[in-house]
Chain A
Amino acid sequence: AQTVTQSQPEMSVQEAETVTLSCTYDTSESDYYLFWYKQPPSRQMILVIRQEAYKQQNATENRFSVNFQKAAKSFSLKISDSQLGDAAMYFCAYRRDDKIIFGKGTRLHILP
């Protein structure tokens, strides 16, 4: 069965600094998709970034980028120039076919 592990329950970063959130996953498949979701205090889930496993190039969305290491089954999220609005729970997720499996999340605090 596929699993998604986020080893950092909480992290803090100074405003304007860079932070990296870790995620590893376990699968025997070669074709799948990976996602990072953000859940701010409003609890609305927001898709931050997605990565197709067959693409070697790391996905980037403005200040958000990933480091996708397929062989190591690692999918970390880097947030550059952290802003107060980035404070949230971040969930790493894996999709294969019709279901998405989520990690337990990392709570990110932004220090002013």
Chain B
Amino acid sequence: DGGITQSPKYLFRKEGQNVTLSCEQNLNHDAMYWYRQDPGQGLRLIYYSQIVNDFQKGDIAEGYSVSREKKESFPLTVTSAQKNPTAFYLCASTQLAQGANYGYTFGSGTRLTVV
């Protein structure tokens, strides 16, 4: 079955460490997205990518970095510069056909906790 796989499901980070969250899709989707979810905040866009080797900052990109070396993969690194990284992170993907009414397909998320 096609879908999006996020790993790990739970991740613990020590202060000052960088950690990388994995996101892989086999849907042949063009675009991929990273969202952060905090209680009462909804989903906030961190980064997104419409094509390999290109990506754009979302609303809360500070302290995060991404890469898009393959169409299927869009890993997110939470750097030590991110002051409050404890949150639930969701990866999503979609087609970008002109006029398409596609929503997103989501992964199952990664819960990151700073210890």
Q: Which residues of A contact B (CB under 8 A)?
A: 9, 31, 33, 35, 37, 42-45, 47, 50, 52, 91, 93, 95, 98-105
Contact = CB atoms under 8 A, between A and B. Distances in A.
Contact of A98 (B42, B96, B103): B96
- Specify the main secondary structure of chain B where it touches its partner: strand
A6 B3 CA distance: 29
Interface in B28-62: 31, 33, 35, 40-43, 45, 48, 50
Nearest to B96: A98
- Specify the main secondary structure of chain A where it touches its partner: strand
A42 B41 CA distance: 18
Given A43-B88, A104-B41, A104-B42, A98 B31 contact: yes
B104 A100 contact: yes
